[in-house]
């Protein structure tokens, strides 16, 4: 049996008529940048995520960079973040001239270990940048409390968590800025790169909107040094076609995760933890196993896709050696990098595919 990690063609086929007609309408209009489709998407996503303002940008990485700049993070500042995530998070901090200060993760949720954050604050810290990894929100209550005590900004990297909630509150409800990615394999994916910045702060929203269009505050008036980072209109109409399906797709992922949890309950692997206050949308279903590579090879031989998110903790990456961290500094992140394996969780999976995948894991791992 074949079990893919993602099937973007199946998703397109489901919505082909609407996507094709939307693309054709944009091409026929000749209006390829900004316009009513982008504005509509910004408003709908902001409402879904609990924000007052949404600003479409060219990618999730750009969303991080522009949010950091708009929040006043500058060269020489420190930003507290996680060493276990995709490289864009640290990259964005470095690109604005700031320094990433890592805090270890909770090995069950893969998010920041909240109890360790305050001890990492110094007089140079200006922001905390949590990552809502794999679709589960980091603890906003504690983050907000720490930020208030130390006058810090909270910029949430929610690239993998659109539709997630905590205590019933969506991802952008309790941060100064929240960033999204619409990379094709995300729960809400474009057909190329796209991203968004979300906020409640009117002034911050205005700064991001200026920054994403070369620093203009009105056409031809350049108020600040900016970027060329607009969300493409073609991507906007694709995302508008998909957005009404997001809740259904997220619920399917949660149902798949529940079935995996049941089928693998007594298996000798680490299952993903979902905190009681969280509504996890399972961008990835990520297990842990000491012989991760052996298990992955076994699954591959049986036609089951898997992927390692992420094989190297950020503090051990050559690009960030200048930060001065060493092996052993963040043992939970390092253990995760050795052991994690993400298995198929996309909405299009059948029950038979999930049962087959679980059976093959059990066949290799045992109980």
pLDDT at 366: 82
Instruction: Confirm or reject CATH 3.40.50.2300 for domain 8-243, answering yes or no.
Output: no
pLDDT at 180: 98
pLDDT at 294: 98
Side-chain-side CA neighbours of residue 222 (13 Å) = 6
CA distance 188 to 246: 6
DSSP string, 84-153: SS-THHHHHHHHTT-EEEE-PBPTTT-SB-GGGTGGG--TTEEEEE-B-GGG----HHHHHHHHHHHT-E
pLDDT digits (tens, 9 = 90+) for 83-133: 999 999 999 999 999 999 999 999 999 999 999 999 999 999 999 999 999
Instruction: Please tell me the CATH code under which domain 244-365 is placed.
Output: 3.90.1150.10
CA distance 206 to 216: 10
Of 207, 135, 136, 200, the closest CA to residue 174 belongs to 200
pLDDT at 311: 97
Q: What is the DSSP letter of 355?
A: H
pLDDT at 88: 98
DSSP string, 53-86: EEEEES-HHHHHHHHHHHTT--TT-EEEE-SSS-
Positions of the chain with pLDDT lower than 70, given as ranges: 367
The residues spanned by each domain of the chain are 8-243, 244-365
pLDDT at 152: 98
CA distance 75 to 88: 18
CB-count burial class (<10 Å; 0-12, 13-18, 19+) for 218: exposed
């Amino acid at each position: 049996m074949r079990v893919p990690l993602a099937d973007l063609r199946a998703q397109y086929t489901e919505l082909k008529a609407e996507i094709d007609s939307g693309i054709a309408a944009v091409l026929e209009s000749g209006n390829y940048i900004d316009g009513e489709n982008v504005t509509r998407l910004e408003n709908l996503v902001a409402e879904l995520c609990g924000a007052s303002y949404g600003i479409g940008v060219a990618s999730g990485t750009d969303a991080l960079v522009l949010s950091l700049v708009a929040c006043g993070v500058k060269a020489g500042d420190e930003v507290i973040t996680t060493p276990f995530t995709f490289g864009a998070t640290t990259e964005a901090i470095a690109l604005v001239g700031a320094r990433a200060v890592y805090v270890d993760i909770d090995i069950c949720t893969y998010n920041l270990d909240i109890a360790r954050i305050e001890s990492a604050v110094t007089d140079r810290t200006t922001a905390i940048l949590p990552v809502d990894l794999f679709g589960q929100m980091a603890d906003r209550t504690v983050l907000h409390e720490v930020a208030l005590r130390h006058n810090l900004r909270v910029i949430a990297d929610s690239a993998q968590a659109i539709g997630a909630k905590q205590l019933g509150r969506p991802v952008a409800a309790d941060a100064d800025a929240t960033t999204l990615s619409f990379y094709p394999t995300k729960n809400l994916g474009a057909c190329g790169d796209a991203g968004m910045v979300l906020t409640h702060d009117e002034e911050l929203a205005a700064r991001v909107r200026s920054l994403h269009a070369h620093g203009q505050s009105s056409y031809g008036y350049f108020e600040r040094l900016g970027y060329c980072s607009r969300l493409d209109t073609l991507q906007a109409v694709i995302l508008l076609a998909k957005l009404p399906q997001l809740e259904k797709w997220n619920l399917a992922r949660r149902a798949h995760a529940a079935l995996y949890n049941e089928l693998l309950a007594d298996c000798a692997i680490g299952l993903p933890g979902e905190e009681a206050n969280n509504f996890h949308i399972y961008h990835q279903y990520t297990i842990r196993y000491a012989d991760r590579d052996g298990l992955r090879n076994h699954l591959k031989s049986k036609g089951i896709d898997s992927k390692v998110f992420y094989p190297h903790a950020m503090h051990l990456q050559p690009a960030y050696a200048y930060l001065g961290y060493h092996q052993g500094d963040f043992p939970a992140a390092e253990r995760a990098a050795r052991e994690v394996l993400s298995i198929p969780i996309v909405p299009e999976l059948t029950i038979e595919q999930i049962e087959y995948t679980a059976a093959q894991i059990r066949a290799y791992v045992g109980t």
